[in-house]
Amino acid sequence: MLQSPPAPRERGAAWIGQPIVLVGLMGAGKSTVGRRLATRLGLPFVDADTEIESAAGMSISDIFAQFGEAYFRDGERRVIQRLIDGRPKVIATGGGAFVNDETRALILSEALAIWLDAPVEVLAERVRRRDTRPLLRGRDPAAVLRDLAAVRNPLYALAHLRVASANAPHETTVRAILEALGR
């Protein structure tokens, strides 16, 4: 029997101790900011990509190469579902996680979603530093990110909070999140 998902929490809603889930494009700083935010809040930090790699016993690049993106996204959905267990923590998600309808509905109803929003130029500069992102292999990062932003930003905009992840130290973004949380 199909059940409709719980009603999403109101946009801009205050944090009441549920998991905090960081969403946004690759390079927005979800993992780095997430670790620092968790430390400041005295909460555990979990990187969904690391959890996916651990569960699969292989890297995300290898999962994409061997099984494709659809297989990866299904595993990602299951891992995020396991991580959102009602206990307070900070969770960094992969850039495409929030695009999945089921994953997004779960995050919006059971967690506080925070969109780390950054200009494509800033993201492209950040992601050029590492060659581990399957969606960027052999392609121009700025062009890929522009295309992804066109599709994903309207979905990220559904997050409860939006925080700028500017070309500044990560601590600036952490402080902005803490301020938005009233901390």
Tell me the binding residues for Mg(2+): 31
How many Å apart are CA 24 and CA 177, to the nearest integer?
14
Please state the separation of Cα 85 from the chain's center in Å: 17
Residue numbers in the known binding site for ATP are 27-32, 133
How far is the CA of 142 from the CAs of 24, 48, 161, in angstroms? 15, 24, 25
Residue numbers in the known binding site for substrate are 49, 73, 95, 152
How many Å apart are CA 43 and CA 70, to the nearest integer?
31
**118 within 8 A of 14, measured Cβ to Cβ:** no
Residue numbers in the known binding site are 27-32, 49, 73, 95, 133, 152
